[in-house]
Structures are given as C-alpha cells and as structure tokens.
Amino acid sequence: MRSGRRALAGVVLLLASACSPLEPSQPDVSAWQTAVAVAVEDMVSQLSTAQIVLREQAEGDFIGKAATVVLVEAEDAAGTASDDLTTLQPPPGVRKQQAAFTALLEEAAGLVTEARVAVVDDDVTSYETLRTQLQDVKERILAQRGDLR
C-alpha cells in the first residue's frame, strides 16, 4: 500500500530529521515532478476504486459492510495523496502548478469522501452523479499531469 510505503519512508525521514532542522522537504523541480506523479497515480487509483464500488454497490454486489470498508480505505489513501502534495515545499517556478494540483487533489479527495457518505447513507440515487463527478475530476487531474510533461 502506498500509504504503508510512505509510513516506512516516514520512519526513515523521522530518523533523518533528528539530524536536521525542522523544515519542509524542498525538492528540486525533477523531484517535485516525481512527487506529483506519485500523488496523481495514487489519487487516480482511489477515484477509480470509488467509481467501481459505487457501480457495483448500485447493483447490490457487495456483502455486509464491504463497500463501506473499501471506500473508507480509498478515502484514507486519497487524503494521504492530497496531504503529501500539500505539505511539499514547491520549488520556485512551479508554485502556480503546485497550487493547481493541490486544489484538484483536495477536490478529488473530497469526492471520495462524498462517495463514502453516500454509501453509508444508502443514498443510491446520488451514485450516478457521483460517478460522473469522480470521472470528471479524474480526467482533469490527468490533463493537468499531461501539461506537466
């Protein structure tokens, strides 16, 4: 799990931070682009997961609380992806792009949360709209990433 890998990386960073001043990570442009790519990939994965869950839940394909559990996990991972980018110190020259990505990922994470709320509330009527919104934000994120290349 990406968040798990980040936890592992977090332990390493924690140890490293003991030897360095408390500062946000300041990647160069190349490292920033890599961080954005990872965050985007994670977010797209969670958006797609939420779309599949909504579609299958509408058809009654889950048992017990499985749909909710999968969405809660997607929500956690989406929040982590968004936070990882938000807390990154952007290198000079990419601050505008950083702001655009941050806003998009926050919107995306919010939509995954909305999907989870809808499933817990059993609000089946909202599933189709949410799936469309999830698809829309996913396409915008991918388009934004395309501009980066």
Partner 1 sequence: MKRIFAVALGILTAIGGFVDIGDLVTNAQVGARFGLSLGWVVILGVIGICVFAEMSGRVAAVSGRATFDLVRERLGPRMAMLNLVGSLGVTMLTFMAEIGGVALALALVTSVNHVLIVPFIAILVWAVLWRAKFTVLENVLGLLGLALIVFTVALWQLGPDWGALTNQLVTVGKPAEETWLTWCYYGVALFGAAMTPYEVFFFSSGGVEEGWTEKSLSVMRANVLIGFPLGGLLSLSIAASAWLVLGPAGVSVGTLGQVALPVVVALGKIGLAVAIVGFVAATFGAACETGLSAGYSLAQYFGWQWGKFVKVAEAARFHLVLVLCTILAIGVLITNVDPIMVTEVSVVFSAVALPLTYFPILVVANDPDYMGRHVNGKLSNGLGLVYLVVVLVAAIAAIPLMVLTGMGTA
Q: Which residues bind partner 1 (CB under 8 A)?
A: 1-5, 7-9, 34, 38, 41-42, 44-45, 48-49, 51-53, 56, 59-66, 68-70, 72-73, 77
- CB of residue 112 vs partner 1: minimum separation in angstroms? 13
Nearest to 28 by CA among 92, 83, 82, 97: 92
Q: Which CB sits closer to partner 1, 77 or 115?
A: 77
- CB of residue 107 vs partner 1: minimum separation in angstroms? 18
- CB of residue 60 vs partner 1: minimum separation in angstroms? 7
Phi-psi region of 73 (alpha: psi -120 to 50; beta: other; left: phi over 0): alpha
- CB of residue 143 vs partner 1: minimum separation in angstroms? 14
Q: Which CB sits closer to partner 1, 7 or 99?
A: 7
Q: Which CB sits closer to partner 1, 53 or 118?
A: 53
Identify the helix (H) or strand (E) that includes residue 14.
helix 2-17
Do the beta carbons of residue 67 and residue 56 sit within 8 Å?
A: yes
Q: Which CB sits closer to partner 1, 61 or 95?
A: 61
**Matching residue, tokens 């020259």:** 93
Number of neighbours of residue 4 by Cβ within 10 angstroms: 9
For residue 1, give the DSSP letter. -
